C-alpha cells in the first residue's frame, strides 16, 4: 500500500509513513499518556437482515476500549457489570492494555441488556428490550490511579453520570469528548445541556443534531449546538460519512463503501474510541489533527460493522488498520498532476 | 484562495493553479473541441419549503448547457421547444457559446411543462404535472455542423431518443455520458438497456442504482450496472455526495454542506454538464481526470440549488467557480504534515 501511496500527494504519503510509525513506535510510547473512558459494558441481542445473535458482549465502553487500545494505552475503563459478565472478556481487554480497576462488579445483579432489530437499510433500528439491571444503581467512581489523565471520552451514558466523572477529576483533562444519543435528549435534556457546557467535542448523528438544535440544515444545526458549549462538533451520517465542524470550518470524511454492513451495533462507539485514541496518541488536538482522527475513527468503525459485536475489532492488527486507512486515502484523494 | 492552497498538498496546489488556467486560457481554446448534448428545454413550476414559482425556464438540456459552457464551447444543443419558449433565453444561451441549430421550434405547440413539489428534506419530491406537449413528437436530428464532436452528453430523456442521437453520429465520440432517471426504468427499461450497452459513463442516483440493479448495497449495484455496459458509473447521493465506480476502483466526492438548499431542480443535469464539460475541456478521460470532473460537477450543482431554476448559473463567473472548487478542496483535504 505504501507503493500506491508514493504516487499520491505528499500529504498522503506522509500520512501513510507517519501512520506506520504509530505502530512501529507503539511499544515505546505505551506509558506516556492515558485515556479515561466511561460507558456501559453489557450484553446485546441483535437481529440484522444478515443474521441474529441472542446474547453477545456489547456496551459503549466495550467498543470504545477495543478501538482506542490500538492507539493509546492504558485505556482506563469506568463501567459496571453484573455477576454474569464473562471474566474472559475482562481478561481480553486487560491483555490489550485496558485497565478495569474502575469497573464495578455487582454480585447479585445481571449486566445491562439491550436487544434491537435493524431494518433492511441498516440505518434505522427498533429497540426491542432494555433491561437496565446493574445500570439502575450505577455510580461511577474514578479510581485515584486514573487521576491526571489528559484525555477523557464520555461514552454514551446517562448525562448525570457523565457529569459526575468530569466533576471527580482533580485536573481538567486537555480534551473532553462526549458521545450521546437521542434517548437522552428525550428523557434528560436539561442534564445533557449541563454536560455540553463542559466538553470540547460532541459526537451525535444527523438526526440527533437536528433534534438537539431544532434546525433541519446541518450547517445551521452545527452553529446552534456549538453555541451550547462544545467547540468542536462531529455529526455522524452512518453510511454517508461524518462532518467535523469548528468555528467556521468544516471537514468531511466519507464512510468506506462496503459490500455488506453486517452489524452496525457499536460502530458509533468504535468511531469515538478510534477518534479519541488517535488524538491521545499524537497529543495534537488541533483541527487538522482532528481531521485525521475522524478518518481513523471511520476506519475503525468500518471494521466494527463487518461482524456481530466487537468480534472483528478483536481480530485486527496494526497492519490491517494501516491498510484500511489507506483505502480511505484512495477514496477521497484526487490527484491532479496528470491533468493540464 | 491560492494563498490557502499553498498550505495544502501539492496535488491540490496544482489543482488550484491548473483550474485558474482553465479560465485564463479559455479564449485560446474555445474552438478546439465541442460537446453535443441532447435533452429537454422546458417550463417548470416548482414548490419548495422556501418558495414557489409558477413558470420558469428549465429542462435537462438547459441546465446542462448553462453548466458546460463554463468549460467548453461550442456546446451543441439538440432539443425541441414550443412557440411559447422565450427567444431571450435562446439568445442568453447563444451568447454563452451554445449552438441552437439542433433545437427544433414547433409553431403550433407548447413547450414541455413539468410541475413538482419538494418535501421538507429536499431529497424527495412529488411530480404534480407532466405536459409532454412538443415532446410527444420529438425526433432529434443531429445537424451536419455538429458531426465530428468528440464528446456526447445524453441528457435525461426517452432512451429511444438518446439512442437515435448516438446512431446519427458518423464518428463514434471519444466519450458518451448518459444521464437518466427512474421514470425510464419504469416505462422503457428494455430501451434503456440497449442504450446502456453503447455508453461509457452512466449517471444515476442511489435509488435508481438500486432499482436498476436490484441490489441494496451500492457496491454490488455498481458491479451489476457496469456489467450492463458502462465502464464508469456515477451514483449521485444528493446532499450525501457522489460515488464514481470503475472496475475495482471507487472515488467519493462530497456535496458541499449548504445552509440552505433553495431548489434542487436541475442539480443533476448541472452536475452532468459540469462533469462532461470539464472532461471535454481537459481532453483527458482517465479515471483520475474523472475524479476532478466530479468535484467540478459537484461545485456547479452547488450553485444551481442556490436559486430557483438556472438563475444562479447565469450569474456566476470563472472566479466564483474557482473559489467554490477550492471550498471542496478544503472540505476533503486532510493535511498530515503538522502531525508526528
Q: Which three cell numbers stand for residue B99?
A: 449552438
**Interchain CB distance below 8 Å, B292 and A336:** yes
- Confidence category of residue B1, pLDDT binned at 50, 70, 90: very low
Could B243 and A259 be called an inter-chain contact, meaning their C-beta atoms sit closer than 8 Å? no
The residue whose grid cell reads 448516438 is B166
Query: Contacts of residue B260 in chain A, CB cutoff 8 Å?
Result: 217
- Arithmetic mean of pLDDT, B286-302: 95
- From the CA of A88, how many Å to the nearest CA of chain B? 36
Q: Rounded distance, CA A236 to CA A203, Å? A: 7
- In the predicted model, what is the mean pLDDT of chain B? 88
* pLDDT at residue B128 greater than cutoff 80: yes
Instruction: Specify whether the CB–CB gap between A39 and A64 falls below 8 A.
Output: yes
pLDDT of residue A116: 92
Per-residue pLDDT at B51: 87
Asked if A334 and B14 come within 8 Å (Cβ–Cβ), the reply is: no
Closest CA in chain B for residue A222: B259
**What DSSP line would sit under B175-226, residue for residue?**
EEEEE--HHHHHH-HHHHHHHHTT-SEEEEEHHHHHHHH--SSHHHHHHHHH
To the nearest whole angstrom, how far is the Cα of A13 from the nearest Cα of chain B? 9
Of B284, B292, B331, the CB nearest to A250: B331
Are residues B277 and B72 in contact, defined by beta-carbon separation less than 8 angstroms?
A: yes
The per-residue pLDDT for B120 is 77
Q: In chain B, positions 253-292, which contact chain A (CB-CB < 8 Å)?
A: 253-254, 257-260, 282, 284, 286, 288-289, 291-292
Q: Which residues 297-336 of B are in CB contact (within 8 Å) with A?
A: 330-336
Contact A330, A3 (CB under 8 A): no
Q: Which residue of B has its CA nearest to A16?
A: B336
The per-residue pLDDT for A338 is 32
- Is B295 in the A-facing interface, judged by CB distances under 8 Å? yes
H or E element, residue A202: strand A201-205
In A204-233, the residues whose Cβ lies within 8 Å of chain B are: 216-220
Give the pLDDT band (50/70/90) at residue B339: very low
Chosen from A253, A258, A327, A334 to mutate, greatest number of chain B CBs within 10 A: A334
- B295 contacts A251? CB cut-off 8 A: no
For residue B120, give the nearest of A216, A288, A332 by CB distance.
A216
For residue B278, the chain A residues in CB contact (below 8 A) are none
pLDDT digits (tens, 9 = 90+) for B226-248: 999 999 999 999 888 999 999 99
- Residue from B334, B335, B338 whose CB has the most chain A CBs within 10 Å, to mutate: B334
**Residues of chain B neighbouring A14 (CB-CB closer than 8 A):** 336-337, 340
Range of the domain at A245: 5-339
Q: Say whether A252 and B331 touch across the interface (CB within 8 A).
A: yes
Q: pTM of this prediction?
A: 0.82
Give the pLDDT band (50/70/90) at residue B121.
confident
Segment B43-49 mean pLDDT: 93
Write out pLDDT tens, residues B82-97: 999 999 999 999 999 9
- A 104-143: CB under 8 A from B: 120-121
Q: Do B289 and A216 touch (CB under 8 A)?
A: no
Cis bond leading into A214, ω under 30°? Answer: no
| Residue ranges in chain A modelled with pLDDT below 70 | 1-32, 335-340
A-B C-beta contacts closer than 8 Å: 134
Query: What's the grid cell of residue B249?
Result: 476502483
Residue in A120, A220, A284 nearest the CB of B338 = A284
Compute the distance between CA of residue B142 and CA of residue A96 in angstroms, rounded to an integer. 68
Q: Which residue has the higher pLDDT, B251 or B124?
A: B251
In chain B, positions 51-80, which contact chain A (CB-CB < 8 Å)?
none
Considering only the beta carbons, identify the residue of B10, B259, B332 that sits closest to A220.
B259
Show the CA angle centred on residue B315, arms to residues B314 and B317, nearest 5°.
105
Q: Do A282 and B339 touch (CB under 8 A)?
A: yes
Nearest to A254 among B8, B218, B254 (CB): B254
Q: Is a pLDDT exceeding 90 seen at residue B138?
A: yes
Q: How close, in Å, is residue A41 to chain B by CA atoms?
A: 31
Residue of A nearest to B242 (CA): A240
DSSP string, A82-139: -TTS-HHHHHHHHTTTEEEEEEEE-TTSPPEEEEEEE-TTSS-EEEEEEE-GGGGG--
Does B25 have pLDDT greater than 60? no
Residue pair B152/B140 in contact by the 8 Å Cβ criterion? no
Across the interface, whether the CB atoms of A219 and B258 are under 8 A apart is answered: yes
For residue B9, pLDDT beyond 90: no
Q: Cβ contact (<8 Å) for A336 and B295?
A: no
Count the domains in chain A.
1
Report residue B27's pLDDT band, with 50, 70 and 90 as the boundaries: very low
Residue B52 confidence (pLDDT): 92
- Whether the per-residue pLDDT at B297 is higher than 80: the answer is yes
Are A286 and B338 an interchain contact pair (Cβ–Cβ within 8 Å)?
yes
For B147-174, what is each residue's pLDDT tens digit?
A: 999 999 999 999 999 999 999 999 999 9
Chain A nearest-CA distance from B160, in A, is 33
The lowest-confidence range among A54-68, A236-250, B19-33, B110-124 is B19-33
β-partners of residue A203 are A179, A234
Backbone angles phi, psi at A128, to 5 degrees: -95, -45
Whether the predicted pLDDT of B200 surpasses 90: yes
Note the pLDDT of residue B279. 97
Q: Which residues pair with B244 in a beta bridge?
A: B234, B251
CB contact under 8 A, B243 and A260: no
| Chain A residues whose beta carbon lies within 8 Å of the beta carbon of residue B249 | 330
What pLDDT was estimated at residue A123? 72
Task: Please name the member of A240, A284, A332 whose beta carbon is closest to the beta carbon of B237.
Answer: A240
Please check the confidence at residue B310 and state whether its pLDDT lies above 60. Answer: yes
CATH number, domain containing residue A61: 3.40.1190.20
Cα–Cα dist B184/B31, whole Å: 35
Residues B60/B319, Cβ–Cβ less than 8 Å: no
Query: pLDDT at position B17, please?
Result: 37
Amino acid at each position: 500500500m505504501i507503493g500506491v501511496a508514493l504516487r499520491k500527494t505528499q500529504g498522503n504519503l506522509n500520512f501513510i509513513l507517519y501512520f506506520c510509525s504509530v505502530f512501529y513506535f507503539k511499544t515505546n510510547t505505551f506509558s506516556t499518556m492515558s485515556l479515561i473512558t466511561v460507558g456501559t459494558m453489557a450484553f446485546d441481542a441483535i437481529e440484522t437482515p444478515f443474521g441474529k445473535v441472542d446474547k453477545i458482549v456489547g456496551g459503549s465502553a466495550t467498543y470504545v476500549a477495543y478501538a482506542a487500545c490500538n492507539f493509546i494505552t492504558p485505556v482506563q475503563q469506568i463501567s459496571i457489570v453484573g455477576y454474569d459478565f464473562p471474566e474472559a472478556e475482562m481478561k481480553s481487554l486487560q491483555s490489550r492494555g485496558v485497565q478495569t480497576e474502575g469497573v464495578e462488579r455487582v454480585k447479585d445483579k445481571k449486566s445491562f441488556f439491550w436487544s434491537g432489530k435493524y431494518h433492511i437499510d441498516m440505518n434505522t433500528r427498533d429497540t426491542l428490550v432494555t433491561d437496565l439491571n446493574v445500570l439502575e444503581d450505577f455510580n461511577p467512581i474514578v479510581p485515584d490511579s486514573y487521576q491526571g489523565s489528559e484525555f477523557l471520552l464520555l461514552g454514551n451514558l446517562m448525562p448525570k453520570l457523565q457529569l459526575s466523572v468530569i466533576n471527580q477529576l482533580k485536573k481538567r483533562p486537555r480534551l473532553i469528548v462526549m458521545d450521546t444519543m437521542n434517548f437522552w435528549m428525550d428523557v434528560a435534556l436539561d442534564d445533557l445541556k449541563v454536560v455540553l457546557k463542559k466538553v470540547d467535542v460532541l459526537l451525535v448523528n444527523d438526526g440527533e443534531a437536528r433534534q438537539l438544535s431544532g434546525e433541519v440544515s446541518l450547517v445551521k444545526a452545527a452553529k446552534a449546538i456549538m453555541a451550547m458549549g462544545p467547540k468542536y462538533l462531529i455529526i455522524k451520517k452512518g453510511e454517508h460519512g461524518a462532518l467535523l465542524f469548528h468555528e467556521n470550518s468544516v471537514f468531511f470524511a466519507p464512510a468506506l463503501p462496503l459490500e455488506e454492513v453486517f452489524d452496525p451495533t457499536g460502530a458509533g462507539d468504535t468511531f469515538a474510541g478510534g477518534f479519541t485514541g488517535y488524538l491521545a496518541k499524537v497529543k495534537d488536538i488541533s483541527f487538522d489533527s482532528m481531521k485525521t482522527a475522524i478518518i481513523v475513527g471511520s476506519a475503525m468503525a468500518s471494521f466494527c460493522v463487518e461482524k456481530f459485536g466487537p468480534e472483528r475489532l478483536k481480530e485486527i492488527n496494526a497492519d490491517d488498520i494501516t491498510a484500511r486507512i489507506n483505502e480511505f486515502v484512495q477514496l477521497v484523494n484526487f490527484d491532479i498532476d496528470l491533468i493540464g
